[in-house]
Structure 1
Amino acid sequence: SIEIGENEESAMCIGVAILDDLSYPIAAISLSAPEQRQSDELIESAGIALMAAGRKISEQMATG
C-alpha cells in the first residue's frame, strides 16, 4: 500500500505484507520518507523493490 500525507503531513510510506504459507499476513515491512523528496518514478521503483523483498521474506519463512 502507498500512503501520502495521511498519517503525517508531508510524509509518505509504502508498506508490504509478509505472508505465511497459507497467504495470511503475519508481519509487514515499510519504507517512510519525506514526500517532497519523492518522484513518481522513485515511488514506483521503491514499491517494486519492497514487494520483491516481501515476497522473498515470505518464501524464506514458509520454507524455513
Structure 2
Amino acid sequence: MPRHKRDWKQYNKQLINRGNLNFWITKKNLKFWKAKKGKKNGRPFVYSDEGLCCISWLFLILSLA
C-alpha cells in the first residue's frame, strides 16, 4: 500500500489555527454592546442586555462552562 505524503507546512498551519473562532460584528451591533448610562444610584452596568445575550449564545453554541 502506498503511504500518504503529508504536507507538513500546511499541517503546521492547521495546528496553529485549530482553536481560532472568527465571526463578524457589525457597527450596529457594537453600538448596543455597552450599557446606556442610567439615572439611578449605584454602580452602573457595563454591558447591555444584548451584549450579555450574545455572549451567552456563544457559550451555549461552543459548549463552554
Tell me the TM-score normalized by structure 1: 0.30
Q: Which has the higher contact order (CA 8 A, sep 6+)?
A: 1
Q: Which has the higher strand share?
A: 1
Q: Which has the larger radius of gyration?
A: 2
Tell me the TM-score normalized by structure 2: 0.30
